[in-house]
Structure 1
Amino acid sequence: MTEHPTLEQLADQEARLVFDRFDDDTAWALGVALRDAARAARAPVAISIRRNGQRLFHAALPGATADNDGWLERKSAVVDRYGHSSLYVGEEFRAAGKTFEDSSRLDSSRYAAHGGAFPVIVRDVGCVGTIAVSGLPQREDHRLVVETLEAFLGHDDA
Structure 2
Amino acid sequence: MNDEVTLLEADERRLVLDRFGNDDAWELGSLLVSLARARGAAVTVGIRRGRQRLFHCALPGTSPDNDAWIDRKCRVVEHYAESSLLVGARFRAKGRTFESHSRLDPDLYAAHGGAFPLRLRGTGVVGAVAVSGLPQADDHALVVEALERFLEAAAR
Q: TM-score range by the shorter chain?
A: over 0.9
Paired with 1:36 and 1:55, the residues of 2 have a C-alpha distance of 19
SS of residue in 1 equivalent to 2:152: coil
List structure 1 segments (4+ residues) > 2 angstroms apart after TM superposition: none
Q: CA deviation at 1:36?
A: 0.4
1:99 matched to 2:102? The reply is no
Which runs of no fewer than 5 residues in structure 1 stay unpaired? none
Tell me the alpha carbon deviations over residues 97-127 of structure 1, each in whole angstroms, 9 at most, x when there is no partner.
0000000011010000000000000000000
Paired with 2:16 and 2:34, the residues of 1 have a C-alpha distance of 21
Q: CA RMSD for the aligned pairs?
A: 1.3
Which runs of no fewer than 5 residues in structure 2 stay unpaired? none
Given candidates 67, 73, 83, the residue that maps to 1:75 is 73
Partner of 2:152: 154
Q: CA deviation at 1:76?
A: 0.3
Tell me the alpha carbon deviations over residues 27-56 of structure 1, each in whole angstroms, 9 at most, x when there is no partner.
111000011001111110000000011000
Partner of 2:64: 66
Partner of 2:50: 52
Partner of 2:126: 128
Partner of 2:39: 41
Paired with 1:74 and 1:46, the residues of 2 have a C-alpha distance of 13
Which structure carries more helix by proportion?
2
Paired with 2:121 and 2:62, the residues of 1 have a C-alpha distance of 33
> For residue 97 of structure 1, what is the amino acid of its counterpart?
G
Paired with 1:118 and 1:55, the residues of 2 have a C-alpha distance of 15
Paired with 2:20 and 2:146, the residues of 1 have a C-alpha distance of 16
Given candidates 16, 27, 30, the residue that maps to 1:29 is 27
Q: CA deviation at 1:149?
A: 0.7
Partner of 1:114: 112
SS of residue in 1 equivalent to 2:40: coil
TM-score by length of 1: 0.94
TM-score by length of 2: 0.95
Paired with 1:35 and 1:54, the residues of 2 have a C-alpha distance of 20
Paired with 2:71 and 2:40, the residues of 1 have a C-alpha distance of 22
